[in-house]
Every structure is written in C-alpha cells, then in structure tokens.
Amino acid sequence: MAQELYWDAIYEIVLALKARYPDEDLEDVSLGDIFKWTMELPNFAGEPELANDEILGAIYQEWFEEINPV
C-alpha cells in the first residue's frame, strides 16, 4: 500500500497527479481541478479544509516545473 499523502507532500502529490492525468494541459487546469483531483487520489488522507490557494498554487507550480524542465 502506498504511503498516505497530506497537503505538505507537494512533490509526492504532483507525481501522483502527473501519473493519473498524464495528458492534462495545465493551461486548462484550475486550482479547483487540482483540489478535486488531489482529494480523489487513493492514498490522499489530508483534510479538505486545510487546502488553500497557496498550497494548491504550489502544487500547480511544481507540476508545471515537473513537466517543463528548464
């Protein structure tokens, strides 16, 4: 069984989202999508009320950087 994820595991969340949604165009992804998809990850155990724009934005940024390395 995979280790449980919480909101502070930004990079691990990104890897899970990238694997689950490999063909997503991040230009079409909202913070609401990231929240919903993160909550739907099978090993995500974070509390929904702890999410905020800063955390969701950090997930988005890390995902963007992961698929667009410099």
Give 28-69 pLDDT, tens digit per residue.
999 999 999 999 999 999 999 999 999 999 999 999 999 988
Element (H, E) at 53: helix 53-67
For residue 2, pLDDT beyond 80: no
Is 5:43 a contact under the CB 8 Å cutoff?
Answer: yes
Is 51:35 a contact under the CB 8 Å cutoff?
Answer: yes
**Which domains, from first to last, does the chain contain?**
10-67 (1.10.10.600)
| 3-state SS assignment for residue 4 | coil
Give the pTM.
0.93
Which residues are 64's β-sheet partners? none
Distance CA 60, CA 41 (A): 16
Question: pLDDT category, 1, cuts 50, 70, 90?
Answer: low
What is the model's pLDDT at position 69? 81
